[in-house]
Structure 1
Amino acid sequence: MRSRPPPRRWPFLGRPKGASFGARPGERPEVSGFGQVAVIGAGWAGLACAVELAAAGRPVVVFEASRRLGGRARSVELDGRLVDNGQHLLVGAYAETLRLIGRTGADPAQLFWRLPLRLDYPGAFRLRLPELPPPWHLAAGLLAAESASLRDKLSAALFMQRLKLDGFRLRRDTTVAAWLDAHRQHGAIRRFLWEPLCLAALNTAPQRASAQIFANVLRDSLGGPRGATDLLLQRSDLGRIFPEHAAHYLTEKGSEIRCAHRVRDLQRQGNGWQVDGRQVDQVVLAVAPQHVPALLVSRPAHEPLLRQIADYDYEPIATVYLAYPEAVRLPFPMLGLTGPLGQWVFDRSSQGGPAGLLAFVLSAEGGWETLTDDELAATLHAELCAALGPLPPPRWQRSIRERRATFRCRPDLPRPGCETAERGLWLAGDYTCSEYPATIEGAVRSGVAAARAVLAGK
């Protein structure tokens, strides 16, 4: 299937407040009528839900408070440069994400570089998975890992084998740190494989993260089919990976997208709903959990849900962009850092960005939060030099910090599904996908689940 090239300029990349698109010239841009579904929120969960509904022939109207689609995984402009609001990494296990991208008419093979998993900490640790059938690819990769003892390698292989025999189910949930201690996972494998994967996938430190959710991640990645562990490096900014194609697909199907429209009023009306006075059949709330109370606080039936969400804690994420001279390249598109602050650094030139632009990712709370942007950039530059050798100073730097980027994925965290206490009102968002942490795949799966519930007429 060939990828459909998106238009040169999409309306949501800078839409006037309250504007919409998707109607024919001269017509009022509405898709009203029997069966219409309102999707509130146009992140990846909301867009996945809308695409799945539109594919089934249901009319959809999408409301988005921002002028841009994509939520926490979208394109932004910084000083004339188009970058992502956060560096995201997709893997081959993201089956629903890849399916939804294909549903819009795009070709994932044209949007991503697919590379075998490689974790490279220069001078400290390296693990590569060869192109062998599972589970031999993981066994061979672990045994060949550099700077790890044979004892740690064998222990890690046995750990994965026991997990598989147990169906990746724990008898009781606990923290990842306690779980790894119980299974005697120590040394370089723990420091450079298990703990960084936990932090990257759950955006929660191992001392606080849910071991069961991390086991689910291992089940679908390292414990999955051969391609599940592949790194999917985007060839362009996030907006062109899914949001633009989703918007194109939805407008072709006659759906409407209203950007820069923050929904203020949600009311039950007869057998349907009113969204800011607009009559619809059903509603999907595809917003972050911290934004749900504003829409449901006046509806007593949802008090248990609101109490559950009120107990959530949140973790930050920072992406620091440093623009070096064009000749600066990383030896691999993604490298791990061993300094006190740095976690991962990505070469954006291998992902459709300008030459010399590097993106540093800092997940979960830590000492980096106390530093100014200039101090953080200087520290990360020094850590990169320690890993690769002397580098010229960056010409430009910008930081994007999200204080409440994801929910803290702690053990036994109660999470709602897509169904609510009122008929015709549904939830979508990564926090509703109970088996997954706050990832793009979790968001997409939640949107698909909500859409299928709508279509089932529950």
Structure 2
Amino acid sequence: MTSAPQVAVVGGGYAGFAAAVTLARGGARVTLFESSRVLGGRARVVEKDGQRVDNGQHILLGAYTETLRMLRLVGVKPSVLETRRLALVYPGEACELRAAPLPAPLHLAVGLLRARGLGLADKLAMARLMRHLKARRFRIEPDQPVAALLADTAQTERLSRLIWEPLCVAALNTPVGEASAQVFANVLRDSLAAGESASHLLIPRVDLSELFPVPASRWLAMRGHTVRSCEPIKAITRDGDALLLDGDPRSKRYDHVVVATAPYHVGGLVGELPALAPVVEAIDALRHEPIVTAWLAFDGPLRFPDPMIGLAGGYGQWAFDRAALGGPEGLVGVVISASGRHQQITREALEIALLEELQHAVGPLPALKWSQLITEKRATFACTPGLARPGNATPDPGLWLAGDYTASPYPATLESAIQSGTTAARSVLKACGLKEVGVLGI
């Protein structure tokens, strides 16, 4: 009987932990390295004035089947996710679209008929776009910007501004004039046009580190695997059949390594592996888009019609009442996805503008206790038409990539990261002649 393959995972984000859990379930011996003391990568918790807030507000969809499966595997209870039917609510615009509690496609059709703040022309335009995509089996050939798709299907200004553009920017983190219509169509196909539960909004009640990385770390430790935080890996080199990690205090030899860092860190890790040069060049060619999250803590509760509301006409895009999601009273998160005019003003001016937008949407606000603007300058890759994304395999047969930027029909989301991690891990197991076992076989 051969010994279990030794596999290192570099990166303690969602992709890295998905890979590590999958490898462990397949019989590999796993060591995961994370340079920070906080697990989660670009989806993690930070602390402010004794409060724990996320570096960015994320929502999941019912269509995130791999994410939900992985959460169940590591023992996360469903109650950590606030599950709500799709609701796009703009109190400042008197606009409200809610999916009906009916099987697909009636959930969306009836919701559209009942929508407030959308005229007949808006509703007909939405139905026209969905018919257009269904008739083409959600294929956009050749790929084009989302703005062109909206123009081709004669979407109204109000519908585009309040529904399509915010959904596109939230999902793809790329402005509609540059975003891939094919990837946007994929998102619509597997959410709005799929089963009723696929369009459910799942909003975490816990911080992003506690949602998956921390439970996954415990799961791995309980099964004898190793998670090493605060231990940055500086480089990956090859010594014959083994891969070595510069920064591993035990100087172990690994049969396989899964690189699950942000894409812009890959080149620095594998620069001493000449075979990886074309892969690094492709990764470095990816352009990135930011996400800004403004955390506003008020001295008293706010009255949101929904835990998540839309803001239109200003800088903010979505606002979240964290008190309605198990957080402290008066804490609000406002999200601005992708590049835009908010980058042209000062942080102080942006904070004032967001307070005014929030007041316009929900009415008078309590006194502001503290605020924090968190900017992830390279939160995701720019999801543009026809973009070539690297696969999980590399020219080095022992080295694999995992992350939301790898080849996928979807944009950079938590689901994409987890899918990539599981795909990379299953490829490693296959190369080792192993296979992931079922839950009862753990």
Smaller-chain TM-score bracket:
over 0.9
Which of 48, 51, 56 in structure 1 is aligned with 2:21? 51
Cα distance per residue 1:147-188 (max 9 Å; x no partner): 222122122113212312322111111100011111112232
Deviation at 1:282, TM superposition (A): 0.3
Give secondary structure in 2 for the equivalent of 1:432: coil
Structure 2 match to 1:111: 80
Deviation at 1:223, TM superposition (A): 1.2
Corresponding position: 1:315 with 2:315: no
Corresponding position: 1:358 with 2:332: yes
What is the correspondence of 1:46-445 to structure 2 with a 5 Å cutoff?
A: 46-107=16-77, 109-124=78-93, 125-276=95-246, 277-445=251-419
Deviation at 1:326, TM superposition (A): 2.4
Cα separation, 2, equivalents of 1:182 and 1:346: 33
Deviation at 1:338, TM superposition (A): 1.5
Give secondary structure in 1 for the equivalent of 2:335: strand
Cα separation, 2, equivalents of 1:239 and 1:401: 18
Deviation at 1:405, TM superposition (A): 1.1
Cα separation, 2, equivalents of 1:55 and 1:111: 24
Deviation at 1:246, TM superposition (A): 0.4
Deviation at 1:297, TM superposition (A): 2.0
* Higher alpha-carbon deviation: 389-398 or 435-444: 389-398
Deviation at 1:245, TM superposition (A): 0.9
Deviation at 1:324, TM superposition (A): 0.9
Cα separation, 1, equivalents of 2:106 and 2:196: 9
Deviation at 1:264, TM superposition (A): 1.2
* Higher alpha-carbon deviation: 161-170 or 119-128: 161-170
Deviation at 1:290, TM superposition (A): 0.7
Asked if the contact 2:132–2:153 (Cα under 8 Å) also holds between the matched residues in 1, the reply is no
Cα separation, 2, equivalents of 1:120 and 1:293: 42
Deviation at 1:446, TM superposition (A): 0.4
Deviation at 1:320, TM superposition (A): 0.5
Cα separation, 1, equivalents of 2:276 and 2:360: 53
- The residue identity in structure 2 corresponding to 1:407 is F
Cα distance per residue 1:374-418 (max 9 Å; x no partner): 222111001111122222331111111111111111111110110
The count of aligned residue pairs is 425
Cα distance per residue 1:228-286 (max 9 Å; x no partner): 11111212212221111101101011110111111112111222211124211100000
Give secondary structure in 2 for the equivalent of 1:342: coil
Cα separation, 1, equivalents of 2:178 and 2:235: 37
- The residue identity in structure 1 corresponding to 2:14 is W
Cα separation, 2, equivalents of 1:219 and 1:278: 45
Asked if the contact 1:213–1:436 (Cα under 8 Å) also holds between the matched residues in 2, the reply is yes
Asked if the contact 1:237–1:352 (Cα under 8 Å) also holds between the matched residues in 2, the reply is no
Deviation at 1:117, TM superposition (A): 0.7
Deviation at 1:356, TM superposition (A): 0.4
Asked if the contact 1:337–1:345 (Cα under 8 Å) also holds between the matched residues in 2, the reply is yes
Cα separation, 2, equivalents of 1:49 and 1:155: 42
Give secondary structure in 2 for the equivalent of 1:83: strand
TM-score, scaled to structure 2: 0.93
Cα separation, 1, equivalents of 2:142 and 2:374: 37
Asked if the contact 1:315–1:406 (Cα under 8 Å) also holds between the matched residues in 2, the reply is yes
Cα separation, 1, equivalents of 2:149 and 2:270: 38
- The residue identity in structure 2 corresponding to 1:88 is H
Asked if the contact 1:234–1:352 (Cα under 8 Å) also holds between the matched residues in 2, the reply is no
- The residue identity in structure 2 corresponding to 1:207 is G
Give secondary structure in 1 for the equivalent of 2:405: helix
Cα distance per residue 1:7-38 (max 9 Å; x no partner): xxxxxxxxxxxxxxxxxxxxxxxxxx640110
Cα separation, 1, equivalents of 2:11 and 2:63: 25
Structure 1 match to 2:428: 454
Identity rate of aligned residues, in percent? 48
Cα separation, 1, equivalents of 2:270 and 2:217: 27
Deviation at 1:332, TM superposition (A): 0.9
Give secondary structure in 2 for the equivalent of 1:279: coil
What is the correspondence of 1:1-40 to structure 2 with a 5 Å cutoff?
A: 34-40=4-10
Asked if the contact 1:323–1:358 (Cα under 8 Å) also holds between the matched residues in 2, the reply is yes
Unpaired segments ≥5 residues, structure 1 = 1-32
Give secondary structure in 2 for the equivalent of 1:430: coil
Cα separation, 2, equivalents of 1:319 and 1:301: 39
Deviation at 1:451, TM superposition (A): 0.7
Deviation at 1:113, TM superposition (A): 1.4
Deviation at 1:74, TM superposition (A): 1.1
* Higher alpha-carbon deviation: 64-73 or 305-314: 305-314
TM-score, scaled to structure 1: 0.90
- The residue identity in structure 2 corresponding to 1:431 is Y
Give secondary structure in 1 for the equivalent of 2:350: helix
